[in-house]
Amino acid sequence: MNSIPSVNLNDFISGDNIKKQKFVKEIGKAYEEIGFVALKGHFLDDALVEDLYSEVKNFFNLPLEVKQKYEIPGIGGQRGYVSFGKESAKGKKEGDLKEFWHFGQYVENNPKLQAEYPSNVIVEELPKFNEIGKEAYRMLEKTAKYVLRALALHLGLKETYFDNYIINGNSILRPIHYPPITTEPKEAVRAAAHGDINLITLLMGAQGKGLQVKNHKGEWIDAIAEPDELMINVGDMLSRHTNNKLKSTIHQVINPPKELWGTSRYSIPFFMHPISEMKLDVLEGCIDENNPKAFDDITAGEFLNERLIELGLIKK
């Protein structure tokens, strides 16, 4: 596969069973073959997207000393600001050429999870920043719920199989700023080759070149979305849960050509995580004589912790 398939969520939620089955088939095939789709018909309207980008740019334009007020020690970067070069891909020494912010879950009716998750960080200088971030978080979470419902049907599970695992899940909305490149990077790129940790990732801002996906032949292909599309990929948790039936594809954000070094790039991924007790044990329906069980049993919380240590965001 040499391009990213495009699907429309309106087919799934249309009430037309033929369109719904078509969507399930298309997204299932794409995730088995390349692990990425471009999705139209999501729940983010144009005005919300515009407001979010505006607020995100306002935040990253703040002076560094102001941004660093919101870098909270001891929580592995799970909320608030993470400064330039702090995160590296698994197995890489060089920090990625980016700074970012984390909005986390807005827990409802669950004191246990409220105590487990760090609180969201409020930016005093920008009164609308947190309000717009919360609304975008909610709409992306709603979109992800329907994508997972389609995947549950593709896997032969009950349509609402994932619902209870993602209500109050440990999901993260991450606005990223890749600043202008001022000197020749020795080894670092904007985001080194990696797979995502979570169930699925919904990415805003994949218009234009930069994001690349590795196909099954080991070739890097450009993943470019239309302005009204989200790029959505399978993460390692879902790949593990399905015994690699659904593919968590390695991807990267390469540095632009030299003539574009002076420009910033923004992207906003939403990492859909389940609650930490979710068992990621391989689904029985994904095991057969050609595909024996490939992974040990583990919970989502244990797996996340392992990966945050590998990324250098928390210490052992």
Condensed to tens digits (0 to 9), the pLDDT of residues 266-293 reads 889 999 999 999 999 999 999 999 999 9
Q: Is the pLDDT of residue 202 over 80?
A: yes
pLDDT at 245: 95
DSSP state of 54: H
pLDDT at 89: 47
Stretch 7-26: mean pLDDT: 97
Would 243 be classed as within a structural domain?
Answer: yes
Q: Which backbone phi and psi does 229 adopt, to 5 degrees?
A: -115, 145
d(CA 159, CA 271): 21
Would 315 be classed as within a structural domain?
Answer: no
Residue 143 one-letter amino acid: T
Would 1 be classed as within a structural domain?
Answer: no
Q: Is the pLDDT of residue 186 over 90?
A: no
Of residues 86 and 309, more confidently modeled: 309
Mean per-residue pLDDT over the chain, rounded: 89
Stretch 138-148: mean pLDDT: 98
Give the residue numbers spanning the domain of 154: 6-310
CATH of the domain at 264: 2.60.120.330
Contact between 194 and 250 (Cβ < 8 Å): yes
Q: By CB neighbour count within 10 A (0-12 exposed, 13-18 middle, 19+ buried), where does 130 fall?
A: middle
| CA triple 178-8-106, angle to 5 deg | 55
Alpha helices in 118-223 (DSSP H): 129-154, 163-166
pTM value is: 0.90
Would 72 be classed as within a structural domain?
Answer: yes
CA-based radius of gyration for the chain: 19
d(CA 290, CA 53): 46
